Amino acid sequence: MIGYFWIGVGGAFGSIARAWLAFTVARITGPQFPWGTILINVVGSFVIGFFGTLTASGSRFSVPPDARAFVMVGICGGFTTFSSFSLQTLELARDGRLGQALGNVGLSVILCLLVVAVGHYAAATINRQF
């Protein structure tokens, strides 16, 4: 049961960080395109790829399952925004901005897959160095 508590705490941290970053990016770039959501999903993908590999069982920095759940399920789950991404993409398409909707899908998927791999390989390299 204590694991669920830490997942909830991590989720709260992740959600607060997501809201802050989304509002900050929207202030800088404007509301026309969901750059904040893309950035959030890219950062979250890197973190889960990096932390997941760095702390895996048998790795140099192995941590207990509850600590992994705190970061990977709690923080990353509260931080990343797939539901927001989905709604924003639908809204772009419904507004007749199909090119932007497809751009949002393409950028989100490609960038997140790339950075989850970068996070994984960065952590794998660190694990091999020790």
pLDDT on residue 130: 72
**Residues of the chain below pLDDT 70:** none
The pTM of this model reads 0.86
Q: How far apart are CA 40 and CA 57, in angstroms?
A: 27
Instruction: Please list, in sequence order, all residues whose beta carbon lies within 8 angstroms of the beta carbon of residue 92, skipping any fewer than 6 positions away.
Output: 98, 100, 101, 104
pLDDT on residue 51: 95
Residue 81 has, within 13 A of its CA and on its CB side, a CA count of 27
Taking residue 53's Cβ as centre, other Cβ atoms within 10 Å add up to 20
Q: How far apart are CA 124 and CA 52, in angstroms?
A: 10
pLDDT on residue 84: 87
Q: Which amino acid is at 68?
A: R
Strands (E), 18-117: none
pLDDT on residue 2: 80
Q: Which amino acid is at 39?
A: L
pLDDT on residue 129: 81
